[in-house]
Structure 1
């Protein structure tokens, strides 16, 4: 694990999750635990409307949490109900919090590689639909990270389980003096909750 990222992780307080959020996160914990117990692949697809902010944060922090707690065979993906672009502030925020973020393609829909360890496989970040060929087609948990996508997609083809875990959109702070702080806070909230989830998994 990269040292700066470890420093961020050590600042998280995942044992202090509120009771209400623990209830929200329990179905994801149950899904992961069932897969671990049955020695099966764990495919998690984090879904938001634009696949530009919250779904990427959740995908990347969940993959890092799985590695931190050495939970094997976890594969994290993300998608949207439409294609836009990974918002640059997300890449900037993750870099500031300790991930190594590399640009692979500079287009209208840029592609990034995100690493939590020098020897880890990178998470590939770009905006795509939830049913993209890049993502699994069956046996996965569809984690709905925004209420709009949760309400707008009542059925996710191939999903074994659908789990709403919604977060407030940091986009509300765009073009304001609070943007950097709000994006950092949202990222750390997502990180804290993903680390709580994986800390509870019994191997």
Structure 2
């Protein structure tokens, strides 16, 4: 794992997650633990409206947490109710926090590779619908990361479990002097919660 990313992880405030939020995260812990207990692959699809901000942050930090705690056979995905593009500020924020991110295509919906360490497989980041062929079609947990997607998608085809874990949208800070701070704080909140989830898994 990259040294800068390790330092970011060391500073996460997992102990500050309150009991109400832990209750919100418990169904995801239970889903992962059940898969681990049964020796099954773990597929997590983080879903938001545009697959541009919160769903990508959740996907990437969950994959990093699985790697950090050495939980095997975890495959994290993201999707939206519509396809847009990964918002550039998300890539910038994650780069500042220690990920190695490379844009490998330049169309309106660019594709990024996101690496946790020198010798880890890259996470592929781009905006797509939650039922894209790139994502799993069955036996996955659908984690709803925004209230719009949670309310607008009461049924996710193929999902074994549907888990609402919603986050405030950092988009509210776009075009303001606080943008960098808000994106950094939201990323670290999501990181803390994903690391809490995987820290609870017993191998």
The normalised TM-score by structure 2 is 0.99
Structure 2 matches for 1:1-150, cutoff 5 A? Answer: 1-150=1-150
Q: Deviations over 1:101-144 (max 9, x none)?
A: 00110110010000011111111000000000000000000000
Task: Give 1:14 deviation, angstroms.
Answer: 1.1
**Cα RMSD for the two superposed structures:** 0.4
Residue 173 of structure 2 corresponds to 173
SS at match of 2:104: strand
Aligned mates of 2:16, 2:200 — CA distance in 1: 13
Aligned mates of 1:68, 1:115 — CA distance in 2: 13
Aligned mates of 1:165, 1:69 — CA distance in 2: 21
Question: How many pairs were matched up?
Answer: 203
Aligned mates of 2:31, 2:117 — CA distance in 1: 26
Aligned mates of 1:177, 1:15 — CA distance in 2: 29
Q: Deviations over 1:54-110 (max 9, x none)?
A: 000000000000000000000000000000000000000000000000011011001
Task: Give 1:15 deviation, angstroms.
Answer: 2.6
**Greater CA drift, 12-21 or 78-87:** 12-21
Aligned mates of 2:70, 2:16 — CA distance in 1: 22
SS at match of 1:64: helix
Structure 1: gaps (5+ residues): none
Task: Give 1:17 deviation, angstroms.
Answer: 1.0
The normalised TM-score by structure 1 is 0.99
Aligned mates of 1:168, 1:16 — CA distance in 2: 17
Structure 2: gaps (5+ residues): none
